[in-house]
Amino acid sequence: MMNVNTEKCIGCGQCVKDCFARDIEMVDDKAKIKNITCFKCGHCIAICPKDAVSTDEYNMEEVKNYNKEEFTVDSDNLLNFIKFRRTVRQFKDKEVESEKTSKIIEAGRFTQTGSNMQDVSYIVVKDGIEELKSLTLKSLKELGEHMLANLTPETMVYKRYAQMWIKMYGKHEENPKENDGLFFNAPEVIIVTANSQVNGALASSNMELMTNALGLGIFFSGFFVMAAQKDKKIAEFIGLQEGKQIVTCMIIGYPKVKYLRTTPRKEADISWK
């Protein structure tokens, strides 16, 4: 529960004003958290000028005091960083350090979630990556064969993907190391799952930024997500929790390619009202 140290509290009322759940009241010029409608967002902890608010549900040692030098990012640099990121499909034969994987997941863990659900989970596949790859390629091949056997004018747009999946499977069977058209011989996969797709997608976006900041390469495998959503064997292999859905599959490793500039994009589609 959320707690207020009445000896530290000066009764400024800032936590009351900032509490979206309206769960804090002033009693005898001290803040009192009722812990009835509170959903543990932590705004009261962050805003208190006297560090009087705490919780016994989370690790308070993770709380950091703001300082401009460590907590601000230049907006132009950030925009250039976003513009420069590229989807990487060429990876070195080099493992990703566990410390870097943990930092990527931390970026996801501290991403905002609706109603502070904190429902995002992470499945890291390293030792089992070859088995996961084989399961996924087989599933995609079978999906492609089914698509080609049941083409309609509406599904004709997927024909090239169906043909691609069948070809990917065949080439991988011939030479698994040289013909990895799914994970591209990356050493690690992080699968992001959540009850809410929005929460999982938001976490994945911050994780991608951290991945690039760590000097790693990344791409999101939509093929894997599609296969896993249709194949229970894949869900069982990765240990997908009940109630969770796979939101993204992040293929991560050290890039074997160096990009020298940003690329152009379409103009933004904006409506000003």
Q: What are the extents of the domains in the chain?
A: 2-62, 75-273
| pLDDT computed for residue 26 by the predictor | 97
Q: Which amino acid, residue 128? A: G
In tens digits, the chain (273 residues) has pLDDT values of 999 999 999 999 999 999 999 999 999 999 999 999 999 999 999 999 999 999 999 999 999 999 999 999 999 999 999 999 999 999 999 999 999 999 999 999 999 999 999 999 999 999 999 999 999 999 999 999 999 999 999 889 999 999 999 999 999 999 998 999 999 999 999 999 999 999 999 999 999 999 999 999 999 999 999 999 999 999 999 999 999 999 999 999 999 999 999 999 999 999 999
Q: What is the DSSP letter of 37?
A: S
- 23 near 53, Cβ under 8 Å? no
Tokens (6 digits) for 87: 């989807």
Q: For 75-273, CATH number?
A: 3.40.109.10
CB-CB neighbours of 48 under 10 Å: 21
Distance CA 229, CA 47 (A): 42
Q: What is the DSSP letter of 49?
A: T
- pTM, two decimals, is 0.94
For domain 2-62, which CATH number applies: 3.30.479.30, 3.30.70.20, 3.20.10.10, 3.30.1130.10? 3.30.70.20
- 12 near 52, Cβ under 8 Å? no
